[in-house]
Amino acid sequence: KRYVSNRKEAKDHGDVGILLGSPIKDGDRVVVVEDVTTSGKSMEETVPKVRAAANVTIVGLMVSLNRQEVGLSGDVSKTALDEVAETYGFPTNAIVSMAEVTEHLYNRECQGRVVINDTIKTAIDEYYKQYGCK
């Protein structure tokens, strides 16, 4: 399987250049990999870069964390990740969502301390009232 991730800036060590991952060539089917999806804006840069690098078919997007925030359209009924799928026509998936992370860490110890206590949970809830999907 071919995979590719867009770097913010080119590197001259490790995987050099702007695209990290498998070298791609015409005819490849590629999965784009990202660490997190917030608004989906990064895909506006990534999709054209991948398609300019070779004549490939992007078959999906896999992200580590879906922050479950509203996408660029401002439609509060869908996440940015859902909007990316609609805009570009390929499936999107996340390993974990912010809701899952919050639920798992809320009032639980992790490495000797509670990561999300009542105060932090309240702040997260307030943040999602403003930026999250409904």
Kindly give the parts of the chain with pLDDT less than 50. 11, 13-14, 16
Q: How far, CA to CA in Å, does 96 sit from each of 41, 50, 65? A: 19, 25, 5
The residues facing 69 across adjacent strands are 132
Return the active site residues: 11, 13
Model pTM score: 0.82
Instruction: Give the integer Cα–Cα distance in Å for 125 and 132.
Output: 9
Confidence at residue 74, expressed as pLDDT on a 0 to 100 scale: 93
pLDDT in tens, 91-109: 999 999 999 999 999 999 9
